[in-house]
Structure 1
Amino acid sequence: MSRRDLERLAKAMLEAESICMVACGTSYHAAMVGRYVLAKLAALQTDVVIASEFQESCRVSEGSLVLAITQSGETADTLKAVRAAKLSGARVACLTNVVGSSITRESEIVCLTHAGPEVSVVATKTFAAQVAFLLALSIELARMAGEISAGEAGRLMRELLRMPGSIADVLESTAAPVRRLARELRDVQDIYLIGRGIGYPIALEGALKLKEITYIHSEAMPAGELKHGTLALIEEGTPVIAVAPPGEMRRRIMSNVEEVRARGAKVILLSDERTRGAEKVILLPEVGEIFSPLVYIVPLQLLAYHITVARGQDPDRPRSLAKSVTVE
């Protein structure tokens, strides 16, 4: 990523009266991670809006900044949202993977993920690249806003730069247990995923990967919402994947794990520590809470892949889906 573009975007966000991130699908989930980290590190409030709902749900003006996140730079709903924002006088920035795409021509500030071509319809490495950029942006914003010291910012950036090694470790350490789990889940009808805090967008992205290529109904929700309806669907043997990264939310999500276990759910826990309450634990390396999306999404991506292969389906070309959604 370009340091100059990162600093320029950070400065524009600090100057803005309001900030809105617009995106679709996987990019929307990356934006949700960004919202969490911006609030936690930089004490910066941002709205995250699904691009197709932008005109109906979000009001921007000359003092606003809209950050559009789109892998292809051609997503029709995101482009429409950006054009509407510009008509209202808002400044527009973008984060994309494609140089010269339509979104870059609509934006005042252009930031690139430099993830390289992604051939599969299903977004995986581009999610990691978007999250990594938003983490770096949050660290820079927090430093510029005086929320963290230059020394702390440097420490966090060094930790971010170590994440590729952690991801490689996860790919190796979880390969066998995830493959076994995929065989067990191959023929299920439903999979539920729960998370709290930064774990919620990880659960959302995991559910999206599962439904995109396995064609199994997969639903993610904030763990606290279980008791507002979904708990009625949990019965003996229902698979529930609990995303439990480090941080203050872990203790609370374990109480939700007990709720679904009491109803017979088959609980699969993603965590960096073994704990009672789950039928299976996918052990992950210890990383800082804000960096956990980069690590915790990997076994969910692998699970979707292995279930799909076990069902005899093509994981790269799911039915009815396109890499770039260019229609509204």
Structure 2
Amino acid sequence: MPEPLLAPDAGGVDTSWTRREIDQQPETLRATQALLRDRRAEIEAFIAPLLARPDLRIILTGAGTSAFIGECLAPWLSAALGRPVEAIATTDIVSTPSLYLRAAAPTLLVSFGRSGSSPESLAAVDLVDATIAEAYHLILTCNAEGELARRGSGNTHVVILPEATHDRGFAMTSSFSAMMLAALAILGGIDALEARGPTIAAAVSDALTRCEPLVSNLATRGFKRVVYLGSGVFKGLAREAALKLMELSDGAVVTAFDTALGFRHGPKTIVTTDTLVVVFVSNDPLTRRYDLDIVAELRSDGHCGALAVISAQPGDAADIIIAGMAGAADADLLFPFIVPAQLFGLHVSLALGLTPDRPNASGTVNRVVQGVRIYAAHP
């Protein structure tokens, strides 16, 4: 039986699963790291020989938020591994496999799935097996009962994350951060993340406390448009942040995302006095100069309704400073930086009188996608 959907109680306290799942992220990140530590030998026995192959193609895949995990991590993993790592959504692979799959290229498909039962996720795995002569699968899922969790075989390794990460709410929150941490560790090195994991979890905890007053205030201001800007790994995070608000507001708020440099090339026309712009500031010295330039420009323009800047640098004139992360890699900042966006979406949902666990009361959009027909692919 599915858990009942929860909403604010009679006293106005938000008891939704969405709230709980945002708040539990420090614990679920620690639990995910502990699980990877315990299963390190079997994970590395599968992944190490594959990563040792210079001809191996690596594709990160999923749909919606699960696809955006790949968009966040692909640039960083490409640099860390010294090889291309591609983020290709299952929805692209399934609809146009001839553009994305190469039969002769040995391929590792890394599949992210909260439920593990989305039709496109299953079809993408099947297509890769049917199309590619030498295919391997790393499946990261939050649901032990999902279809992907049952796909273990000689060419497949399944990692089922802690049960708490199987979000009950409509919008993915702790499932997003847990699957992202797992991929960062497995592909970037479980040992390498061992020392950084506690710092990441502590930063997420700090962000949960530090950003609450700001986002709750912003949510009462009734912005009709919200734009998230981020460079490098934060472009994918900006896309995920925009989706969270769109989902939790049931489309009542128009959202957009872009990079600091890309925003000037037309997308900046979205800015009005009813627009909130949120900028994720990189720790990379070169990238952050471009991020801070767009912040200065937006402040100088004075056209947007509000500007919120999120940074890990204490010297920045930022609205939210993530403590203890001034020297962190941008990949590690993904985890605390998404927290303000998640909380803002939640507060907007409540301000609109919606039920955060099921904001789309009409049922036209569902927690596990419905209405998808999978067609046979022709060679």
Query: TM-score normalised by the shorter chain: which range applies?
Result: 0.7 to 0.9
SS of equivalent residue, structure 2 residue 88: strand
Report whether the alignment pairs 1:93 with 2:138: yes
Structure 1 stretch displaced more, 235-244 or 117-126: 235-244
The answer to whether structure 1 residue 169 and structure 2 residue 210 are counterparts is no
Aligned residue for 1:223, secondary structure, equals: coil
Structure 2 SS opposite 1:162: helix
The answer for the alignment partner of 1:145 in structure 2 is none
Asked if the contact 1:115–1:129 (Cα under 8 Å) also holds between the matched residues in 2, the reply is no
**For residue 195 of structure 2, what is the amino acid of its counterpart?**
R
- C-alpha displacement of 1:324: 1.5
Matches within 5 A, 1:2-21: 2-7=39-44, 8-15=46-53, 17-21=56-60
Residue correspondence of structure 1 range 49-64 to structure 2 within 5 A: 49-55=88-94, 56=96, 57-61=99-103, 63-64=106-107
The answer (yes or no) to whether the contact 2:349–2:359 under 8 Å persists in 1 is no
Provide the C-alpha distance between the structure 2 equivalents of 1:81 and 1:34, rounded to a whole number of angstroms: 20
In structure 2, C-alpha distance between the alignment counterparts of 1:72 and 1:33, rounded to whole Å: 20
Cα distance in 1, alignment partners of residues 199 and 259 from structure 2: 29
Pick from 369, 373, 378 the counterpart of residue 325 of structure 1: 369
2 CA distance for matches of 1:178 and 1:136? 30
| Residue of structure 2 in register with 1:243 after alignment | 280
User: Does structure 1 residue 137 correspond to structure 2 residue 186?
Assistant: yes
1:37 aligns with one of 76, 84, 89: 76
User: Which residue, out of 227, 241, 248, partners 1:192?
Assistant: 227
SS of the residue corresponding to residue 129 of structure 2 reads helix
Which of 92, 95, 118 matches 2:167?
118
Q: For each residue in 1:178-198, what CA deviation from the matched residue of structure 2 results, as whole angstroms up to 9, or x when unmatched?
A: 2112222xx221111110012
Structure 2: any 5+ residue segments left out of the alignment? 1-35, 373-379
- What's 2:150 paired with? 105
- In the alignment, the residues of structure 2 paired with residue 171 and residue 127 of structure 1 have an alpha-carbon distance, to the nearest angstrom, of 16
Partner Cα distance (2:314, 2:194) in 1 = 28
Q: CA deviation at 1:256?
A: 1.9
The Cα shift of 1:316 comes to 0.9
Letter in 2 for 1:26: T
Number of aligned pairs? 312
Aligned amino acid, residue 312 of structure 2: D
CA distance in 2, matches of 1:60, 1:66: 12
Q: Percent identity?
A: 21
What does residue 259 of structure 1 align with?
Answer: 297
Q: Which residue number in structure 1 is paired with residue 26 of structure 2?
A: none
- Asked if the contact 2:73–2:233 (Cα under 8 Å) also holds between the matched residues in 1, the reply is no
The equivalent of 1:316 in structure 2 is 357
- Secondary structure class of the residue paired with 1:295: helix
The 3 A distance-change label for structure 1 pair 327 and 43 is farther
TM-fit CA distance, 1:159: 1.3
Match for 1:22: what amino acid? T
Task: Tell me, yes or no, if the aligned pair for 2:282 and 2:291 is still in contact at 8 Å.
Answer: no
